[in-house]
Amino acid sequence: MKKLAKNFALIISLVTCVVTAQAADLAHIKQKQSLNICVSYDSLPFSTSDGPNPGLHIELGQLLARELGVSLQLSWVAYRYQAKYTNCDAFMGVAILGDDDGPIMKTDPYTQIEVLLVTKPGKGTYKTIEDLEGLKVATPSSSAVHTVLVNKPVELFVSMLKDKDILDAVGEGRVDVGIVSNAGLGWYKNTHPDVKFQSQSSKFIHPLNGYPVAIGLRKSNQETVDTTNKILKKLQESGELTALLEKYGLEPIK
């Protein structure tokens, strides 16, 4: 009976922790004097728990916290759904999709993610899927490009989990073509300045090859969105946002 009571108390404690782990709007962020953002481990150029460069999302979070006059706290999560177990107020990078009506409120976009086709220099351009026939192509498993090419006469490599691994394979000649994000390519170029690639849009393979990126605010309100938009505009006008994006291989939204 004592053991049962102890286990029941533990369950109540865990439920209480989940219930009390809540995001906050602007008023509560200022009241608690901290902005808590959800970030991923080992996910450069966006975030990392180790190394001299913390990542775009963390540095953007630092700028946002500075402008709000509060401190920055980090909640490390492997998957986005784990945010509900934290006090995370925001994701610093969420996709803006046309049919999105989810619970996360989003700011104006500040950059763009694109899916690119990357090869070594001098390989020419590709205009149709038929141009890829017989080639070795590395692409993330279960990606939109993968779903198209899996039924084509293309030798697919889908075991590489990161853009860096795919770009390594292209640079070393283990594959002819790599499918990566512009963020992954930009960061690779910044960290491997001697390696040269040529890139082009992958839209001819699949039309869903890019999306605008915004800050996603959890359990927030319009006042918080408006304030964050004003800060993003201020950072853009001062040049700080552009410099930060360039540091991590990206550009401001066009």
Q: What is the pLDDT of residues 164-197, one digit of tens each?
A: 999 999 999 999 999 999 999 999 999 999 999 9
Strands annotated E in 140-181: 155-157, 177-181
Residue 110 contacts residue 252 (beta carbons within 8 Å): yes
Q: How confident is the model at residue 8, as a pLDDT?
A: 31
Write down the pLDDT at residue 22. 60
Distance set, CA 240 to CA 1, 20, 185 (Å)? 61, 35, 22
Q: What is the pLDDT of residues 197-230, one digit of tens each?
A: 999 999 999 998 999 999 999 989 999 999 999 9
Average pLDDT, the chain: 90
Q: Whole-angstrom distance between the N-terminal and C-terminal Cα of the chain?
A: 65
Res 13: pLDDT: 32
What is the separation of C-alpha 157 from the centre of its chain, rounded to a whole number of angstroms? 23
Task: Spell out, as residue ranges, where the chain has pLDDT lower than 70.
Answer: 1-23, 99-101
Per-residue pLDDT, 254: 81
35 near 65, Cβ under 8 Å? yes
Residue 207, preceding bond cis, omega within 30 degrees?
Answer: no
d(CA 88, CA 82): 10
Q: Which helix (H) or strand (E) holds 136?
A: strand 136-138
Give me the pLDDT at residue 98, please: 76
Q: Write down the pLDDT at residue 179.
A: 98
